[in-house]
Amino acid sequence: MQQEDKDTLRDTISKEIIDIQKQINTLQEKTKPISPDCSLGRLTRLEAMGEQHVYHKILDQSQIRLTRLTNALSRIDKQMFGICIECEEPIGMGRMSIRPESVRCVDCAGLL
CA–CA dist 76, 9 (Å, integer)? 8
Q: Could you report how far apart the first and last alpha carbons of the chain are, in Å?
A: 23
Contacts of 51 (CB under 8 A, 6+ apart): 30
Least separation in angstroms between CB 69 and Zn ion: 20
Q: Which residues on adjacent β-strands are paired with residue 83?
A: 90
Q: How far is the CB of 77 from Zn ion (least distance, A)?
A: 21
Contact set with Zn ion (CB under 5 A):
84, 86-87, 105, 108
Smallest distance, Zn ion to C-beta of residue 79, A: 16
Q: How far is the CB of 82 from Zn ion (least distance, A)?
A: 11
Please identify, using beta-carbon distances, which residue of 54 and 85 lies nearer to Zn ion. Answer: 85
Nearer to Zn ion, 45 or 99 (CB): 99
Nearer to Zn ion, 60 or 86 (CB): 86
∠ at Cα 50 (49, 53), nearest 5°? 90
Contact 102, 75 (CB under 8 A): no
Question: Which CB, 59 or 84, lies closer to Zn ion?
Answer: 84
